[in-house]
Amino acid sequence: MIKGIIFDFDGLILDTETHHYRVLQEIFAAYGSELPIERWQQEIGTQTGFSPFHYLEELIEQEIEHKHLQQQLEEKFHVKLAEEKARDGVEDYLKAAKELGLKVALASSSDYAWVSKHLKNLGLFDYFDCIRTSDDVEIVKPDPALYVKAAECLGLEPEECVAFEDSANGSLAAKRAGMGCVIVPNEVTHTMDFCEVEHRLESMADMPLGELIERLNELKVSK
C-alpha cells in the first residue's frame, strides 16, 4: 500500500521549464534561429552540461557574447517566475496528503537553494517532511539515487511510495528506484516519450488525490 508521495519540483510544482524555454526562444529568435523543443526536452529533469549558447553558436556559425546573453536570460526568467504560481491542484494534493496520513517528500535534480527558495515563496515549504536535491547525490535523474534517498528519508521502501513527475528523465528515475509513478506533463514536456508509468494526469486538478491513491493501490494488488 502507498504510504508516501514524492514530488519533483521544476515543471511539476512550479512550471519553470516552460518559462525557461520561452525566454531561450526569444534569445534564439533575435539571432534568426530557434531551439528545437526536442533538443531542449533532453535537458529537462537532469543535468548534462548542455550550453544553449554554444548550441546557438553552432546553429548560426558565429561567436556570441555568452555573459551578456546569460544575464539577459536570468533577468527575463526571474521576472516571469516572480509572477508564476504553483501549478493547478498542487497545493490541494499536498493538503490532501496530510489529511490522508501520507508522508511527503521532494526529489529534485536542482539544488537545495533553488528549490527551498521557491517553495517558501509559494508557501509550500512546510508541507514536505523531506527534501532531497542535487546536493545530496553524485548523479541526478534519470539515475534513481534521488528517489531512493527520498524514500529512505521518509522511512519507507520505494514500493511504498509513488512519485509525481513531469519529465521523461524524472519518470525513468522513479521507475528505476522501484516505485510507482504518475506523470503530470507541462507545456514543454507533454510530447515526451515517457517510460511505462502507472497513471497520467494533465493536471492535478483533474482527480482528487484520495481517488488517485485508491486506484494506484488497486493496481498494486492486481499485479
Model pLDDT for residues 7-53, shown as the tens digit of each residue: 999 999 999 999 999 999 999 999 999 999 999 998 888 888 889 99
Half-sphere exposure of 41 (CA within 13 A, CB side): 16
Q: Which of 8, 15, 143, 166 is catalytic?
A: 8
Average pLDDT of the segment spanning 100-121: 97
94: confidence class by pLDDT, cuts 50, 70, 90: very high
Q: Which of 82, 97, 128 is the last residue of a domain?
A: 82
Q: Which of 10, 15, 143, 166 is catalytic?
A: 10
Do 208 and 103 sit in the same domain of this protein?
A: yes
pLDDT at 223 over 80: no
Cell of 65: 557574447
Question: Quick check: is 143 catalytic?
Answer: no
DSSP 8-state symbol, 103: E
Model's pTM, two decimal places? Answer: 0.92
Torsion of CA 78, 118, 35, 7, to 10 degrees: -170
CA gap 44, 122 in Å, rounded: 22
The pLDDT score that the predictor gives to residue 121 is: 94
Model pLDDT for residues 43-80, shown as the tens digit of each residue: 888 888 889 999 999 999 999 999 999 999 999 998 98
Do 138 and 205 sit in the same domain of this protein?
A: yes
Partners of residue 163 on adjacent β-strands: 6, 181
The pLDDT score that the predictor gives to residue 45 is: 83
Who's near 195: CB < 8 A, 6+ residues apart?
Answer: 168, 171, 172, 175
pLDDT at 222 over 80: no
Question: Quick check: is 10 catalytic?
Answer: yes
Please give the single-letter amino acid code of residue 195: C
Higher pLDDT, 221 or 149: 149
pLDDT at 157 over 70: yes
How many structural domains compose the chain? Answer: 2
Do 141 and 209 sit in the same domain of this protein?
A: yes
Of all residues in the chain, the percent with pLDDT exceeding 70 is 100
The pLDDT mean for the chain works out to: 95
Do 197 and 208 sit in the same domain of this protein?
A: yes
Do 96 and 192 sit in the same domain of this protein?
A: yes
pLDDT at 129 over 80: yes
